[in-house]
């Protein structure tokens, strides 16, 4: 099972200018290496059989015949291979010479695509030798003894998976305001191939990288780009051999420039993910006016080594958390700004200058209090208008109790302590519940008592109750209905648990003074717990959330791939097993994945009536926005796939 993955590559071969035989030998060698690696699709640079910098030699019959002869050689030498390859060469047709990409597979030419946009400025003068593909009058060309499809209206569709559809453009085509690949994408191409000969000047690689990355994002496609290397003529310019593989706005593989050897970069692209994004994006098909394309079918062999874990693609075990520290810090800064902007608007709109928030000494309430304090600073409100309430109960430990008090003190907010034990005991008597039975009733009475206190204090001071629950808890329904499930504005609702920890870490260095930073570090070391059961021996925390419902890093991984990309259960299991291969067994991951599905489906009724709060990332479970799901949907199909 390939799970929608396709192994693609961009090659930069060693060449000699105008030495077609030498160039063909290197192309053949790379194709054979790629075949051995299970690569299914490969693209070579522009005019790779002749070299790009031949100049007026393109008008020489010897060069043109030599290129065709060596294409025949490549076809014969690779007829026992199965990968789809695109090579660059000049092709004569209709009294004109075209700069073309030639698609081959198994010793046959599948089609020839001419370049559409020819640069004739600065160091480029392609119009001197080539005609634009728009001037072609024939839809076939005779090449290497084969009559083959010819034109810029060709797409290549895989059999048996038609979702794998290839479009080809050449170098300058990407620089055009509306690239040929844009038309190819809206007509079904999910994988865009670019044969290029882009020379290197200072800063150009950055612009080139952004062009390819952004085109993959705009087209919701994979973009495979290969450019000529250091062996091109250096008469006036130098080429660095820049190769890129992008997927929907992300660069997932890139070559090193100016390497004095051949290069072959490859990875897997996820076509299932691209298709899912396209049909969810309702404006995708409202792009450029669709053109008519001829579709040529080619055989795509299934990747047989993916399920065994032989993949080149990096699977991030923490998809909500950028691995690069500078990117992560900028992400945290932006999220914090979104949270404070959302709360500031709500306070201004309601005309209140007071906020009420319950402080447990845990991560979520800590982040919510930090956001609230910063918001009050922005609005020039006194922090004393923040009523921070700690509400010790049956499960409160000295550790969290001290953390809560020190945090409130360091932020200079108004501190209140209301012990809920007596109120809960009275409620147990009222409803006839045995205090020694530590079941869901025992736990939820405490949660609802705390929420009642917050709501009533907010009414008394004319303030808003600030919610502390996060995205991961919402996904799992890990909250008490009409207890901590409820607030008047929920600042953490768009943030997964794995990212909450990094936001608090970021706050240590960016928004906290010395005393606050000290207590934040202690909070970061405290296990995640609802503290609704009595402490264990020595007053230690007895109830650890992740021992009950599973590791949050797994649940956040499941949530991301299910909601963001609609990935099916077996694929999520495979991805998680690969990403966490050194930490959890496959059976352990499957166990918690079943828990995730059962809770995600059964707890939708809580998400159907959650408070307002800001969306901060690509995933939100707000019933008013991103996630609209019936509360009584069955999880049977998802669980059955895991058990099958």
Active site residues: 46, 115, 171
* Burial profile 236-256: b = 16 or more Cβ within 10 angstroms, e = fewer: ebebbbbbbbbbbeeebbbbe
Q: Are strands 222-227 and 243-247 parallel, antiparallel or unpaired?
A: antiparallel
Beta bridge partners of 166: 156, 191
Beta bridge partners of 244: 225, 254
Residue carrying the six token digits 């020694």: 436
Three-state secondary structure along 473-508? HHHHCCCCCCCCCCCCEECCCCCCHHHHHHHHHHHH
Rg for the chain, CA atoms, rounded? 30
Q: Please name which of 404, 451, 442, 474 lies closest in space to residue 543, comparing C-alpha atoms.
A: 442
| Rounded Cα distance, 344 and 376, in Å | 8
Cis peptide bond prior to 148, omega within 30° of 0: no
**CA-to-CA dists, residue 466 to 242, 387, 630, angstroms:** 50, 10, 27
Q: Which string of DSSP letters, residue by residue, matches 82-148?
A: --EEEEEEEEEETTEEEEEEEEEETTEEEEEEE-S----STT--GGGT---GGG---SEEEETTEEE
Residue 295, classed as helix, strand or coil, is strand
170 and 115 Cβ atoms separated by less than 8 Å: yes
Q: Please name which of 617, 126, 108 lies closest in space to residue 328, comparing C-alpha atoms.
A: 617
* Burial profile 455-470: b = 16 or more Cβ within 10 angstroms, e = fewer: eebbeeeebbbbbbbb
Q: In the chain, helix, strand, coil percent, each to 5?
A: 40, 20, 40
| Rounded Cα distance, 84 and 86, in Å | 7
198 and 171 Cβ atoms separated by less than 8 Å: yes
Residues in the chain: 644
Residue 373, classed as helix, strand or coil, is helix
């Amino acid at each position: 099972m390939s799970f929608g993955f396709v192994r693609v590559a961009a090659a930069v071969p060693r060449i000699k200018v105008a030495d077609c035989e030498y160039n063909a030998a290197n192309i053949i060698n790379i194709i054979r290496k790629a075949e051995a690696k299970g690569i299914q699709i490969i693209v070579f640079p522009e005019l790779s059989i002749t070299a790009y910098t031949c100049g007026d030699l393109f008008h020489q019959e010897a060069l043109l015949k030599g290129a065709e002869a060596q294409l025949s050689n490549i076809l014969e030498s690779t007829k026992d291979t199965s990968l789809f390859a695109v090579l660059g060469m000049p092709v004569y047709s209709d009294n004109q010479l075209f700069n073309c990409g030639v698609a081959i597979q198994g010793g046959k030419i599948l089609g020839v695509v001419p370049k559409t946009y020819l640069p004739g400025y600065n160091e480029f003068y392609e119009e001197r030798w080539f005609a634009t593909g728009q001037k072609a009058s024939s839809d076939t060309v005779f090449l290497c003894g084969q009559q083959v499809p010819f034109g810029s209206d060709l797409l290549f569709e895989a059999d048996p998976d038609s979702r794998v559809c290839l479009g080809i453009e050449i170098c300058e085509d990407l620089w055009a305001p509306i690239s040929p690949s844009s038309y190819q994408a809206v007509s079904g191409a999910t994988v865009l191939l670019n044969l290029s000969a882009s020379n290197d000047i200072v800063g150009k690689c950055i612009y080139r990288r952004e062009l390819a990355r952004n085109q993959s994002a705009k087209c919701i496609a994979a973009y495979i780009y290969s450019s000529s290397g250091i062996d091109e003529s250096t008469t006036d310019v130098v080429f660095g051999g820049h190769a890129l593989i992008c997927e929907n706005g992300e660069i997932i593989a890139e070559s090193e420039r100016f390497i004095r050897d051949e290069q072959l970069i490859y990875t897997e692209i996820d076509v299932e993910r691209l298709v899912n994004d396209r049909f969810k994006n309702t404006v995708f098909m409202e792009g450029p006016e669709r053109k008519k394309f001829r579709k040529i079918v080619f055989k795509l062999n299934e990747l047989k080594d993916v399920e065994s874990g032989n993949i080149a693609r990096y699977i991030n075990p923490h998809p909500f958390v950028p691995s690069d520290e500078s990117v992560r810090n900028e992400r945290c800064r932006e999220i914090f700004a979104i949270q404070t902007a959302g709360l500031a608007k709500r306070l201004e709109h309601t005309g209140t200058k007071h906020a009420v928030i319950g402080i447990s000494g845990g991560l979520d309430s800590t982040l919510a209090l930090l956001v609230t304090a910063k918001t009050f600073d922005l609005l020039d409100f006194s922090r004393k208008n923040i009523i921070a309430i700690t509400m010790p109960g049956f499960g409160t430990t000295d550790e969290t109790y001290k953390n809560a008090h020190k945090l409130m003190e360091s932020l200079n907010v108004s501190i209140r302590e209301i012990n809920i034990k007596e109120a809960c005991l009275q409620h147990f008597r009222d409803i006839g519940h045995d205090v020694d039975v530590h079941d869901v009733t025992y736990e939820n009475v405490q949660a609802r008592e705390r929420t009642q206190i917050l709501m009533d204090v907010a009414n008394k001071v004319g303030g808003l109750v600030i919610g502390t629950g996060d995205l991961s808890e919402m996904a799992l329904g890990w909250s008490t209905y009409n207890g901590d499930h409820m607030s008047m504005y929920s600042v953490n609702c768009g943030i997964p648990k794995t990212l909450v920890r990094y936001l608090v870490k970021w706050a240590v260095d960016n928004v906290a003074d010395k005393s606050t930073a000290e207590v934040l570090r202690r909070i970061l070391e405290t296990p995640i717990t609802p503290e609704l059961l009595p402490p264990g021996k020595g007053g230690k925390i007895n109830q650890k959330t992740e021992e009950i419902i599973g590791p949050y890093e797994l649940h956040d991984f499941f949530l991301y791939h299910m909601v963001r990309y609609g990935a099916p259960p077996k694929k999520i299991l495979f991805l998680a097993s690969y990403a966490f291969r050194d930490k959890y067994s496959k059976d352990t991951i499957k166990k918690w994945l079943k828990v995730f599905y059962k809770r995600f489906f059964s707890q939708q009724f809580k998400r159907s009536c959650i408070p307002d709060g800001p969306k901060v990332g690509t995933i939100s479970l707000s019933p008013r926005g991103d996630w609209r799901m019936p509360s009584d949907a069955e999880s049977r199909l998802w669980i059955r796939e895991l058990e099958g």
